[in-house]
Amino acid sequence: MTAIHPSQLADLLRKFSGSDLTGTLSRIEGSVRGITLGDCSKFLLEAGAEKEVLGAAAAMKRLAGQINVAIHALGILLCLPHILEEAEEVECVSLGAGNTGREFDLETNFRIAEFKFIHWRGGPESIRQNSIFKDFFLLAESKSTKRKYLYVLGTEHPLRFLNGGRALKSVLSKNDKIQQLFYKRFGDRFVKVSPHGYPNSQAMLLPRTSTTGDLSASPVRLPRKRSRQSSFTIT
């Protein structure tokens, strides 16, 4: 398949999707009924379902993965002028995707930190919640004596999850490594995410941040309450 220049990708995809992909797919689903082998070529041409369009969609998907990595890297770098304190020095950063050999996104002589540049939509969002939980757990359980931060794009939805009582079995189900670490550390003492009982609850700060590096002046803490055996606290 001939390589497609990035400037052509959007135009090729628009040939198929139009201005409303959902509406386009609905129309195709309605009109495809009754199509026979002899009708296929004409139908696909009229629908804009061409090999070049499929190639453009695949290329766009590959580019999207690179864009996500770029957002993560740029977001961290642009936040540095807003979070570093006097006499604080960067020791290492992890800007790329996947296992970079570094434990956290940022480590300085004062803090360790993870960054989540996720735009929350307010729905169930279980994948985003699982990801936030993973970063919280690894930060909170780190043996580092440095301050521990989890930076997010707005705290409303993450804090709603962290207070929401979602079953830990569900939160941990998609990540075998974190599930094993968690149960090795706590056994079956905790069954849900809630603002009670986790021994390291004071370790976590959730400042507001954005991809432009705009940070609130004060970090947000969840209230800490007395321990209960059925819950796991996140702050």
- Number of domains composing the chain: 2
Q: Is residue 79 part of a domain?
A: no
Q: Is residue 77 part of a domain?
A: no
Q: Is residue 35 part of a domain?
A: yes
Parts of the chain with a pLDDT under 70:
1-4, 6, 97-100, 194-235
Q: What is the identity of the amino acid at 88?
A: E
Residue 212 structural domain: 84-235
Q: Is residue 72 part of a domain?
A: no
**How many Å apart are CA 231 and CA 235, to the nearest integer?**
13
What pLDDT, on a 0 to 100 scale, did the predictor assign at position 214? 44
Q: Is residue 155 part of a domain?
A: yes
Q: Is residue 105 part of a domain?
A: yes
What pLDDT, on a 0 to 100 scale, did the predictor assign at position 146? 93
Q: Is the pTM of this model over 0.75?
A: no
Are 49 and 121 within one domain? no
| CA-angle at 227, arms to 226 and 228, nearest 5° | 120
Given 13, 42, 67, which residue is the final one in a domain? 67
What pLDDT, on a 0 to 100 scale, did the predictor assign at position 198? 56
